[in-house]
Amino acid sequence: MSDSQHIVCPHCHTTNRVKAQDLGSAPDCGKCHQSLFTAHPAELDEASFDRHIGRNDIPVLVDFWAPWCGPCRMMAPAYEQAAGQLEPRVRVAKVNTEEVQNLGARFNIRSIPTLALFKGGREIARQAGAMRSAGDIAQWVQANLR
């Protein structure tokens, strides 16, 4: 394994090279100088989604959601907490399927919320429906990364 990893900034979406041992020490983006890990889900559009999925060396967890969706709103606080538990091992992100409809169609999202876990540029796991707690979300991610 390389001693550095490519991490995409959640703010400016620039790819950064970070030493593996520095991931846990709050590294900043070399371009915009903001934190690479915020303990909050990154909000992605189509272009930034492709950058995060294709260029991050860490897995990316994506919540496909919509503002009108009751279960999505119910799960939002748990998903926010899960970001704090999973980062910096996993990038946590959200895609508003009302604003970015092409991604919902591209990934055949039929119900929301849908969590999709990506690793190495491809989807490795999917969960349709709301999860109750941050612990449940983190446990599902860890089980699918084994």
Alpha helices, DSSP H, located in the chain: 46-55, 70-86, 101-106, 134-145
Distance from C-alpha of 95 to C-alpha of 82, rounded to nearest angstrom: 16
Task: Judge whether 72 counts as a catalytic residue.
Answer: yes
Q: How far, CA to CA in Å, does 142 sit from each of 16, 27, 89, 132?
A: 24, 23, 10, 16
Catalytic one of 9, 12, 32, 69: 69
114-119 and 60-65 as β-strands: parallel, antiparallel, unpaired? antiparallel
Task: Judge whether 12 counts as a catalytic residue.
Answer: no
Distance from C-alpha of 102 to C-alpha of 28, rounded to nearest angstrom: 31
Catalytic one of 9, 12, 29, 72: 72
Question: What residues are annotated to the active site?
Answer: 69, 72
